[in-house]
Amino acid sequence: MHELPPLSVLARAAGGEPARLPTPALSLAERRDAGFVRLSVDLKRDADLRGGIEAVAGPLPGPNQWSERALWQGPAEWLLASAPDAAQALAARLQSGFDGRAALANDATDGLVVIEVSGPGARDRLAGGTGVALDPAPGRLALTRLGDVRVTLLFDGPDFRLIVERSLADYLWSWLSR
Amino acid sequence: MSGYRLSAAAAPAAQIDRSRPIGFRFNGAAYRGYAGDTLASALVAAGVSIVGRSFKYHRPRGVMGTGFSEPNALVQLGTGARTTPNLPASLVPLSEGLEARSVNCWPSAAFDLGAVNDRLSPLLVAGFYYKTFIWPSWGAFEPFIRRAAGLGRSPALADPDRYEARNAQCDVLVVGAGPAGLMAALAAARAGARVMLAEADQRSGGGLGLGGARVGAGTARDWIAEVEAELDAAANVTVLGSTAVTGYYDHNLLTAVQEVDEPGLRQRFWKIRAGEVVLATGALERPLLFAGNDRPGVMLAGAVRTYVERYAAAPGRRMVLAANNDAAYEAAFAAARAGIEVAAIVDERPAPGEAAARAADALGLRRVHGRIMRAIGARGVRAVEIVSAAGTEAIACDLVAASGGWTPAVQLFSQSGGLTRFDEALGGLVPDRSVQRERSCGAAAGVFALPACLAGGAAAGAAAAQAAGFEPPAIAVPEAEDHALAPAAPLPPVPAKGKVFVDVQTDVTVADLQVATRENYRSVEHVKRYTVWGMGVDQGKLSGANGVAVLAAVQGVSGAEMGMTKFRPPFMPAAFGVLAAARPNGALFHPWKRLPAHLWHERRGAVFEDFGWLRPAYYPLAGETMAQATAREVRAVREAVGLLDASSLGKIEVRGPDAGAFLDHIYAGPVDSLPVGGVRYGLMLNELGAVFDDGVVARLAADHFLLTTSSAHAAAVLAWLEDWRQGEWPMAVVIQDATSQWATFTLSGPRARKTLAAAGTSLDLSPAAFPRMTIRTGEVAGLPARVQRASFTGATTYEISVAARSAERLADALWAAGAPFGLQATGVEALEVLRTERGAIDVGIDTDSTTLPGDLGLPFGGKACDYLGKRSLTHPAASAPGRKQLVGLQTLDPLQTPPVGAHVIGGVPHPSQGVVTSSQFSPTLGRSIALALLTDGRSRLGETVQVWSEGRVWPARVTGLRFLDHADA
């Protein structure tokens, strides 16, 4: 459906390359190869839907956990990873299995921006904006506020990934690189 | 001018670097000190005896203490934008080029005209301004009082320094790196806990670092260095030097201010979340109460020792020690060893401790059992008057080292919510019961003997680590000499002539506390506020315990019954800049939100404004003003077609078998009756029936709805829906915010349909196939799109939504397609005119928190099922007269446009009958139009009213809301 190449949200000119800021202390990089499906389903109420969802999207991680295939977003919400152009098809496939139940799968690729934060200064920079403990914790994520912006913070080895709403990505990038 | 710098031989253990002299200026004069000095120690060594003037009486004052315990040497540091008021000189590390001035004196500290207040002191007793400045009115005096009040001057320029915020977490936070704190940190660190150790001083060790005490096999200094090395090397320990913990809040959140020695970065503000806290904050020395106890030359005994031993700064040449405890003797010993003449040790107690007495005798010091009554001398002590069994005696001296014992520093403990107990033997508060996960040790817990401090610290550190889930190994507590800081009760007040200061910083005397008591101020909190005792920069660190003792004696109760005033953060003065460090200044002060097609608008020359989102306000052509550009954009929508970026509108999807029923409960109007593909305007009300948001609901499928909310309320509406879904109504429905996934452009105007057709679409655009208030899914310009027909402008409108990444491509396609039809880009300014012309409301602008649907002329009550606010709308008040109702206003002079916020005047009893909420000049109508919330407005159509703002008046006619007919076909 989406025949356009994904554009950089953070480019300062149309059609630019994904934004990068490599400095010795702090390295920032915008990832444009990440697609997402936002899944809303209350698996306490509709427990029988889990099997069908996990058959398509893989195991759904528990609270504050993430895997390369799925990220926890709340008691009844997940982000499922996909290739950017495959998200819509994945959403449609999941939705068709819900059979009129209270569940919703939507392509969320365009609404989210992923920023990789790495380097020896990464932790201190993030610690200036969030009260979350930043010790390496593979597979952990935190829904938190970073410099007044709501983010999903993924612990990725010694590094971090931030998932932020598209509209706030430009501000967050400026905040991180100030 | 009796202070001087001790030679290296006289002060062999001093921690200053004589190879690194540092030049600084104080009150305009140039001085020299050394690296390792504080401003206070450098001034003492330079013989500057008068460092400031007192708060009320402008009495000359000299350095009295060290660290946090310095009430007199308050300085204004730096100049211009970098000036900082009211810093105790004892907390200012000396640096090259440092420039400081005394506060609260004019023309100078040495000669201050304000000192006339000292002569007027009978008029200036406690509460004098409540009593004196009553007639004719307080207001007549207030400007003069305000000018005289306060100490330093706040900077007039923006702070050029940078402050940094840092959050941290640890298993065990140890506050204070004295002997107890070091042991606690060591014990917790060896257990494997993540430890943070914060010390306000540049050096750790506390009082232990001064003298030649022995700890373990070596000197105290050796032991401190060993512990420091081990802590520094441990990966699980963070040592923060020059870091003062300023606040202790709930859930073991502590704040700290760290002095940072980096270019451009002044301080770092820490928020530390600790599993367990060990408070090793030490103790504060109490001054003695005698007449003239504020004179330059009267110092705390511990301070004398510190200046002599640590800074090689002799505060005087001939000293008298007045004390009631053994620990104070160390000051006399230190002075004697450094070659300062010790004229006498005057001890309140009949029999001092054996060791202290022996040591004094060994040094050949004269000991007197007696009491100091008076310090003689105005600009500096010349002698003291003592009373003993032998009678009254004057002893010549230029330095009085006074000690009334030590009070545990329980400020942070108290802030944590912990309960204190008044210890009569100690004459101060000690921690009694912890409320948070915290423990005190060392002098902070009322334990003064060095071996007990070391053991107590080790035990506290181990217990904290254990409580945090670690297994502490046994830790050897080093042997130590008992440097007993034997506790001493505070002295009763001394009845003597002259002023006996309880709080030297705020000039509160024993007489003031007596007056307050006579006037029936009994509670310590009341006395504090009436007299300003303990309300200075030091927040009563020196005066708290003595004040309680005096009040207890005057009221005839015990110290425990008297109680203590509440300790509040911050523990020490902190710059506003550092408290706000987490929020950057300048452009990053507040997050901005960018539209997906932000760059496209930039290329079109848009002027952006922050409406919650950065949105194009208007697109000026060369030479155009905002009004001209707006008028051109409005005309395009009325006569041709306009293109508006509406991506900021909230888009919320609701899905589930109960979705229709859920939304029927949420909206005041019917939703579940909407056919698939239909769109309906709706109002959301709160429980009071007041309008909360308006927007449109589209039905995408039987169980699937799309809500479009106003841009500003999207987040609030989402939270509102989730609140009711999760917390109140167990319905089978899920909710998703899809706002940022989509980019939305609207084509609005008589040529909108032609433009959309020209852009290429798979949709049948004929009004029969795609009528008003419907939604369709198809392709636009080759892009998958949702197209909704709902109009805010009153003109034919298509809202086209595509995936956000395609925003610019859609905008380009519509731009190209619309060129032949006169398409113009339109901004928010034009939209405001367009929607006002049509009488469409902007919730929150044209409504307030009391506005009901009926006040907007919108029907309600026709829906059978329950919905939010329904009950409130049936309340008689909802239809009672006197409500503010939204109406149109047309000025009689059509070219006059009153401002938003102008009042409709002439009401009774209040002159305002209402407020203009929206006001525009309509290029379409060639006249001004306005909306106003007007009392009983809907029954006053046709009436002429007076609109007033800032002295100007415009007669205007009350009209209906719609100034222009709908043209949405």
Tens digits of residue pLDDT in A103-128: 999 999 999 999 999 999 999 999 99
Beta strands in B119-240 (DSSP E): 162-175, 195-198, 214-215, 218-219, 237-240
- Measured in whole angstroms, how far is the alpha carbon of residue B625 from the centre of its chain? 41
By C-alpha distance, which of B806, B842, B847 is closest to B937? B847
Query: Strand pairing of B912-922 and B903-905?
Result: antiparallel
**SS3 label, residue B753:** helix
Q: What is the mean pLDDT of chain B?
A: 92
The reply to whether residue B740 touches residue A4, judged by beta carbons under 8 angstroms, is no
* Integer Cα distance of B934 and B927 in angstroms: 21
Query: In this predicted structure, what is the pLDDT of residue B495?
Result: 60
Matching fold, domains B598-648+742-834 and B650-740: no
Contacts by B374-378, CB closer than 8 A, 24 or more apart:
B374/B290, B374/B291, B374/B292, B374/B496, B374/B497, B374/B498, B375/B290, B375/B291, B375/B292, B375/B293, B375/B295, B375/B297, B375/B298, B375/B400, B376/B292, B377/B292, B377/B295, B377/B297, B378/B60, B378/B295
Model confidence at B409: pLDDT above 80: yes
| Cα-to-chain-centroid distance, residue A87 | 13
B62-66, B126-130, B704-708: the lowest-pLDDT one: B126-130
Query: What's residue A1's pLDDT?
Result: 42
**pLDDT range class, residue B165, cuts 50, 70, 90:** very high
Least confident window among B212-216, B298-302, B650-654: B212-216
Taking the C-alpha atoms of residue B17 and residue B644, their distance in angstroms, rounded to an integer, is 69
Using a pLDDT cut of 70, give the percent of chain B over it. 95
Q: Which fold has domain B598-648+742-834?
A: Gyrase A; domain 2 (3.30.1360)
Non-local CB neighbours of B363 within 8 Å, separated by 6+ positions: B332, B333, B336, B337, B342
DSSP state letter for B760: -
pLDDT at B969 over 90: no
Per-residue pLDDT tens over the stretch B578-626: 999 988 888 899 999 999 999 999 999 999 999 999 999 999 999 999 9
- pLDDT category at B909 given cuts 50, 70, 90 is confident
pLDDT value, residue A2: 44
Chain B residues with beta carbon closer than 8 angstroms to that of A165: 740
Side-chain-facing half-sphere of B961: CA atoms under 13 Å: 24
Q: Could you give the CA distance from residue B822 to residue B605 in angstroms, rounded to a whole number? A: 18
CB contact under 8 A, A4 and B806: yes
Domain ranges of chain B: 4-132, 162-283+408-467, 598-648+742-834, 650-740, 880-969
In this prediction, residue A5 carries a pLDDT of 47
Domains of chain A in sequence order: 20-33+111-176 (3.30.1360.120), 35-109 (3.30.70.1520)
CB of B301 closer than 8 Å to CB of B323: yes
Confidence band for B910, pLDDT divided at 50, 70 and 90: confident
Q: Which is more confidently placed, B812 or B140?
A: B812
CA distance A77 to chain B (A): 9
pLDDT single digits (tens) B787-806: 999 999 999 999 999 999 99
pLDDT band at B570 (very low <50, low <70, confident <90, very high): very high
* Residues in B 742-761 with any Cβ partner in A closer than 8 A: 742
Q: Domain B880-969: which topology?
A: Elongation Factor Tu (Ef-tu); domain 3 (2.40.30)
CB atoms within 10 A of CB B866: 9
Q: What sign for the dihedral angle of Cα B623, B628, B632, B637?
A: positive
CATH number of B162-283+408-467: 3.50.50.60
Taking residues B416-442, what's their average pLDDT? Answer: 93
Asked if residue B34 has pLDDT above 80, the reply is yes
Averaged pLDDT, B734-761: 97
Helix B807-818 / helix B752-759 crossing angle, nearest 10 deg: 120
With a threshold of 0.85, tell me whether the complex ipTM lies above it. yes
Q: Going along B55-213, which residue ranges are E strands?
A: 60-61, 74-77, 84-88, 98-102, 162-175, 195-198
What is the average pLDDT across A170-175?
94
Whether B525 has a pLDDT exceeding 90, the answer reads yes
Q: Which of B397-401, B551-555, B965-969 has the lowest mean pLDDT?
A: B965-969
* Tens digit of each residue's pLDDT (9 = 90 or more) over B363-380: 999 999 999 999 999 889
* pLDDT range class, residue B139, cuts 50, 70, 90: confident
Cβ <8 Å between A168 and B593? yes
Structure-block tokens of residue B159: 């702070």
CA distance A152 to chain B (A): 15
pLDDT over 80 (residue A14): no
pLDDT, mean of residues B638-662: 97
Q: Is the pLDDT of residue B397 over 50?
A: yes
Nearest to A171 among B169, B592, B733 (CB): B592
CB contact under 8 A, B732 and A101: yes
Q: Do the chains contact at B809 and A45, CB–CB below 8 Å?
A: no
Dist. CA B706–CA B103, nearest whole Å = 64
Residues β-bridged to residue A108: none
Written as six digits, the tokens of B67 are 């660290």
Provide the token pair at B161.
Answer: 């320094």
Give me the numbers of helices (H) and strands (E) for chain A, helices first please: 4, 10
The confidence score (pLDDT) of residue B84 equals: 84
Classify domain B4-132 by CATH number. Answer: 3.10.20.440
Q: Which pLDDT band holds residue A3 (cuts at 50, 70, 90)?
A: very low
Q: Which CATH architecture has domain B650-740?
A: 2-Layer Sandwich (3.30)
B78 against A102, higher pLDDT: A102
Candidate from B166, B600, B741 with C-beta closest to A128: B166
* The pair of three-digit structure tokens given for residue B779, joined into one six-digit string: 């392709």
A29: Cβ contacts below 8 Å, ≥ 6 apart: A18, A19, A20, A21, A22, A115, A116, A118
Inter-chain contact B803–A170, Cβ cutoff 8 Å?
no
pLDDT digits (tens, 9 = 90+) for B196-208: 999 999 889 988 8
Interface check for B165 against chain A (CB to CB < 8 A): the answer is: yes
Neighbours of B94 (CB within 10 A): 25
- The answer to whether B232 and B239 are in contact (CB under 8 A) is yes
**Hunting for tokens 């207890």 — which residue is that?**
B552
Average pLDDT over every residue of A90-106? 96
Mean pLDDT lowest for which of B118-127, B219-228, B413-422, B493-502?
Answer: B118-127
* Max mean pLDDT range (B276-285, B491-500, B528-537): B276-285
Q: Which residue has the higher pLDDT, B738 or B138?
A: B738
pLDDT at B211: 67
Residues 643-662, chain B: which have Cβ within 8 Å of A?
Answer: 648, 653, 655-659
Residues B864-883 have a mean pLDDT of 92
Residue B493 has a pLDDT of 56
What was the pLDDT predicted at B85?
Answer: 84
Look up residue B855 and give its amino acid. D
Distance in angstroms (rounded) separating the CA atoms of residues B794 and B781: 25
Name the minimum distance, in Å, from the CA of B240 to any CA of chain A: 15
CB B591 to CB A129 under 8 A?
no
pLDDT on residue B492: 58
Question: Which residues of chain A are within 8 Å of residue B734 when distances are taken between CB atoms?
Answer: 40-42, 76, 102-104
Cα torsion angle, B292, B295, B301, B302, sign? positive
Q: How many CB pairs under 8 A join A and B?
A: 131
Distance from CA of B821 to the nearest CA of A (A): 26
Torsion, Cα B905 B908 B910 B916, to 10 degrees, reads -30
